[in-house]
Amino acid sequence: MTVATDAGPLERLRAILGELADLRHAEALADWDSRVSMPPAGAEGRADVLATLTRLTHEKLVSDEVGELLEALESVEDETDAALVRVTRRSWERACRVPGELAAEMTHAAGVAVAAWDRAKAASDFESFVPHLERQLELKLRYIECFPEAQTPYDVLLDDYEEGTTTADVQRVFDRLKQELVRLMEQRADDGPALRGPFPVAQQQLASRLVLDAFGYDETKWRIDETPHPFAEKPGLDDIRLTTHTDPGDLTSLFSTMHEFGHGVYEFDIDESFARTPLGRGTSSTIHESQSRTWENLVGRSRGFWRWFYPQLQPLFPEALGRIDEDGFVRAVSAISPGLIRGDADEVTYGLHIILRFELEQELLAGTVALRDLPEVWNARMKDYLGVDVPDDAHGVLQDMHWSVGYIGYFPTYQLGNVASVQIWERARDDLGELEEQFARGEFSPLREWLREHVYRHGGKYPPRELLQRVTGSELDPEPYLEYLRTKFT
C-alpha cells in the first residue's frame, strides 16, 4: 500500500498499523498451521519464520516515527480515533522497553519448546522438558526486568493479557472463590448416569456442526479443524479458524467447539471499520474467556440448550445414549467431578485448577519452587485441593501447553473470565428475558445480537475494566458467579 507523503498524521499512523496488523495476521496463520497441519519435524524451521515476523513487527512498532505520530495525535477528538491512539501508545510504550532481540528469542524459544513439550507429554517425560522450561523462565525473567517499576514480577506478565489488573486484584478474587469452590465440591450430590462411548468421531463432528450452524456459523467466513489442543485464531477479516479435538471415548469435543466458537464470534462480530487496526481484536484475555465460557457453559450446559439439542444428539449415538434420557444426560454433563485435567473440569472444580497454576507460576518466578521439584509440588497440591492422585506427569504438570509457549500469567484470565461471564449474562437476561426458553426453541440469535451490540462490536476500543463497567455497571465481582454456582449445584 502506498501512502501519500502529505497524508495527515492519523492517516499515516493508520497505514503503519495496517501493515503491523498484516504482519500479525501472517504470524497467526503460521502459528495456526504449526498446530493444525505442519508435520512435527517442521517446528525448528517454523520457529525461525515466527521469530523473523516478531522481529519485523517489533522494529516497525518501536520506530521513532510511531512515537512522533502518537505525540502529534495526543489530543485527537473523535472517540474511536482517541481509542486507537491510546491502544497504540500502550503497545508502543511496552514494546519500546523490550529489546527486539529478546522479543524474537521469546518467539523462537516458544516454537521449539512447544514441539519438545508435545514429545515430553506423549512420553510423560518431564525430565526432557526441563531445559525448555528453564529457558522460558529465564527469558520471562529478562522480560520482567524491562519493567522495573512493577510492584511484583507477576504484574508485568499479567498486564500483557489483562490491562489494569494486578496480582493483588486476582488474589482477592481467588481468595473469595477458593473457600466457596471447595465447599461446593464437597457438597456435590448426584453425578447422573455415566456417559460411556463409543462416540464415533464423524458423528461428533456432525453434532458440533449442527450446534455451530444454530449459533450462526457461516462456512464462507469460518472453518473448523482438528488439533490436539484446541484454540481459535483470526488471521484476517472474515477469516475465523476454530479448532477442536474429538476423542471417540467422550463428548468433550462438543464443549470445546462451543468454547472456541465463543472466542471466534467475539472476533468475528467486531466493528468492520476496526479491521487492520489494534482495535480489531478482543480487548483482553478475561473478556475473551468470558465469552468462550458463556457459549460453552452458560449456553452449552444449560437445560434449555439440551431441551433443543438432546433430541438431535441422542439418535447420533444410539449405542451410548439410547437408554439415557434428557434429564440424566444434562446431569451427567454438568456433574461436579474432581479430576486431573483442567480442560475437562466441571464448572466448580475448574477454578481450583486455575488457582493451583496461579500460585505455582508466582513461586517459579520467585524461585521458591525449583523447576525439578515441580511435578512433586504439583501432585501434592492436586491431592490437597482436589483430592486426586496424579498417576503420571502427562496427566499432571505436563498437561497444558501454556508454559512451553511462554504463556505465564495467562491462566488467571480463564477464571476471571468465568466470573465476568455471569456478570455480563445477568445483564443480557435483564434485557432479553428467559434465555433458556429461547434456547429450548433453538433460538440463539437474540443472545448473540445482544452480545454483539454490548461487547463484541467494540473490539479493543475500551480497556477491559471500562468495558465491564459499561456493560454491567460494576467492577469484576465474584458474587454473581458464586450465586450462579450455588443455584445450579446445591
Q: Which residues bind Zn ion (CB under 5 A)?
A: 292
- From the candidates 260, 267, 289, 296, give the one annotated as an active-site residue: 260
Q: Least separation, in Å, of the C-beta of 263 and Zn ion?
A: 6
Q: Least separation, in Å, of the C-beta of 177 and Zn ion?
A: 18
Nearer CB in complex with Zn ion: 92/410: 410
Q: Which residue is nearest to Zn ion (CB)?
A: 292
For 61, 313, 388, 486, the CA distances from 413, given in Å and listed in that order, are 26, 32, 24, 22
Q: Least separation, in Å, of the C-beta of 458 and Zn ion?
A: 19
For 140, 297, 416, the CA distances from 163, given in Å and listed in that order, are 18, 25, 13
At residue 238, φ and ψ (nearest 5 deg) are 60, 35
For 284, 299, 461, the CA distances from 277, given in Å and listed in that order, are 15, 31, 10
Please tell me what DSSP assigns to residue 218: -
Cell numbers standing for residue 163: 490491562
Is 260 one of the annotated active-site residues of the chain? Answer: yes
**Beta strand spans in 376-484 (E):** none
Burial of 251 (0-12, 13-18, 19+ CB in 10 A): buried
Whole-number Å distance between alpha carbons of 232 and 353: 22
Whole-number Å distance between alpha carbons of 115 and 357: 21
Nearer CB in complex with Zn ion: 418/472: 418
Whole-number Å distance between alpha carbons of 428 and 453: 11
Nearer CB in complex with Zn ion: 34/297: 297
Nearer CB in complex with Zn ion: 135/357: 357
Q: Least separation, in Å, of the C-beta of 176 and Zn ion?
A: 23
Nearer CB in complex with Zn ion: 53/224: 224
Return all residues near 256 (Cβ < 8 A) that are at least 6 apart. 230, 244, 245, 296, 343
Return all residues near 305 (Cβ < 8 A) that are at least 6 apart. 299, 436, 439, 440
Apex 17 CA angle, 14 and 18, nearest 5: 85
At residue 148, φ and ψ (nearest 5 deg) are -65, -20
Q: Least separation, in Å, of the C-beta of 79 and Zn ion?
A: 29
Q: Least separation, in Å, of the C-beta of 292 and Zn ion?
A: 4
Nearer CB in complex with Zn ion: 107/294: 294
Catalytic site residues?
260
